[in-house]
Amino acid sequence: MREIRELVRPRPPRLGRSAVLDRCHDVDDLRAAARRRLPRAVFDYVDGGADEEIALAANRDAFRRVRFSPRVLRDVSAPDLATHLFGTQIRAPLGLAPTGYTRMIHPGAEPAVARAATARGLPYALSTVATTALEDVAATGHTNLWFQLYVLKDRALTHALVGRAETAGFQVLEVALDTAVAGHRTRDVRNGLTIPPRLALSTLLDIGTRPGYWTSVLRGAPLTLANLQTARAPGQSGTVAVLNDLFDPAVTWDDIAELRARWPGALVLKGPLAPADVRRAVEVGADGVHLSNHGGRQLDRCVSPLHLLRPAREAAGDRLALVLDSGVRHGADIAAALALGADLCMIGRPYLYGAAVAGQAGVERAIDLLVTQLRRTLQLLGVTDLTELRKLGPELVTLPPPTGSHRPAEQEGGHV
């Protein structure tokens, strides 16, 4: 009976958001919890991709096709996950990617994400289309902030943003190269998503099923493009596609050279870069390349960044740092990317799922899940640190070529 009592010993109950996070054991659990919390249009904004969402599914498929060949009988009692990037030490090879309209996900918005990144010793990249001014994010005290720049038709505003980021103490300028125009995000169009959300009939019906979300939104600060108030009237709403009016489809390498001359810190170019573009990035004076297809949200059918990684490393050698996102959902994904040549992985949707559930605590939970999975993967691979992981990468990791077709993401069990 004593043994039975030990087995069924009750634990003190945890209530509220903490209880929800306790039941989230991987990113998919966070996604399911976020889906229950958010209105459909908001969840679809986070979760969806461009057009048929083929690239969205392909990103995950690339990681799922990775196969490991571990080494055994190695002392892996204390794997070291720390790394250095652009002169700054990072506790783990993971960063929080730039995402727009974060206040729509949680009222704590970008400052909550920045504080979570600070608590875990990771970099955080703020988007041009953030809902918090870059100076206010810098005021959180995070010392490893990146600013993702969209080159706008209004070059004076573009250059002003660069100057503001420098003055606020941002360490890295990351220029998005895949946004000549905004991608066609079919879910957003069908849902009639506006920024800020309009109280249409469907919205009013949604309020009845998710009162907690709408109460927090209505009590929070106004949802605006905080860094672009000179480009749009404060509070002015419109579909997400309104960004087409701001993006400049005429951006060339000459514009990147000009930004290089203006920016004194590390310069990173972000997009689905082929080897020729990686070599051009070296020539223009970039410090890093961020391989990304925008999480499948821009050009549908775009190649997965994981398949661009080895060619990019061959083209860059050791002259550029390589960052990768799009499809990272597990610590094993991070291990695979690092073994194939990446220096850092970034996540977007995973931490937004966490933020939707519990703000800063939810973001920290997403980080902790991935870092724990990464540490365990290294131990099971027989690897003691990231340098060894890179050195042994060709022996440890096999990446088959992409398949010829992909089912839509929602038919893949919902893992996006």
Residue type for 399, please? L
Preceding amide of 196 cis, omega within 30: yes
Neighbours of 56 (CB within 10 A): 29
d(CA 224, CA 10): 47
Token pair in block for residue 409? 């993401």
Task: Please name the residues in contact with 169: beta carbons below 8 A apart, sequence gap of 6 or more.
Answer: 138, 143, 145
Q: Under DSSP, is residue 225 helix (H, G, I), strand (E, B) or coil?
A: coil
Token pair in block for residue 158? 């573009």
> In angstroms, what CA-CA distances link 221 with 53, 111, 134, 216?
32, 13, 15, 10
d(CA 355, CA 47): 13
The per-residue DSSP string of 371-399 comes to: HHHHHHHHHHHT--BHHHHHHTHHHHEE-
d(CA 377, CA 370): 10
Residue type for 256, please? I
Based on the number of CB atoms within 10 Å of its own CB, is 288 exposed (0-12), middle (13-18) or buried (19 or more)?
A: buried
Candidates 301, 292, 330, 331; CA nearest to 31 is 330
> In angstroms, what CA-CA distances link 217 with 2, 102, 207, 212?
50, 12, 11, 9
Strands 344-347 and 266-271: unpaired
Q: Under DSSP, is residue 416 helix (H, G, I), strand (E, B) or coil?
A: coil
Residue type for 330, please? H
Element (H, E) at 344: strand 344-347
User: Which residues face 289 on adjacent strands?
Assistant: 269, 322
Q: Is 184 a catalytic residue?
A: no
The per-residue DSSP string of 40-75 comes to: HHHHHHHH--STT-HHHHHHHHHHHT-EE----S--
Candidates 184, 214, 186, 216; CA nearest to 198 is 214
Of the residues 294, 307, 330, 406, which is catalytic? 294
The residues assigned a catalytic role are: 294
